[in-house]
Amino acid sequence: MNPEIPQAPQLIAQPVEHKTDGKFIVTLLFLLFMYPVGIITMWLWMKDWPKWLKVVITLPFALALLMIVWVIIISSTNLGQGGV
């Protein structure tokens, strides 16, 4: 028998580096507490975020804005007709 038995390489855990720069933290806080400002900072600063993610985050605000405009248009046209 051969006394030199090959040993498996030892796995050393490497610390995971998280990207927590200032712009990321500010954008995240704005998205949580001041949503419209967060959307603007997200589109301006977060260049490495995928576009589909930014669209998904922006969609609720855009839909709400469209609904408000639609309600204003509908209510202004009903007022001239003596609507209920």
Position 3 in a domain: no
For residue 22, the surrounding DSSP H or E stretch is: helix 22-33
Position 13 in a domain: no
Question: Cα separations (Å) of 4 from 1, 7, 10?
Answer: 9, 9, 17
pTM of the model: 0.62
Position 73 in a domain: yes
- What pLDDT, on a 0 to 100 scale, did the predictor assign at position 37? 96
Range of the domain at 56: 22-80
For the chain (84 residues), the mean pLDDT of every run of 10, in chain order, is 66 62 93 96 94 96 94 82 56
- What pLDDT, on a 0 to 100 scale, did the predictor assign at position 17? 59
Amino acid, res. 10: Q
Domain count, the chain: 1
Across the chain, the runs of DSSP E, i.e. the strands, are none
Task: Pick the closest to residue 58 from 29, 79, 37 (CA basis).
Answer: 37
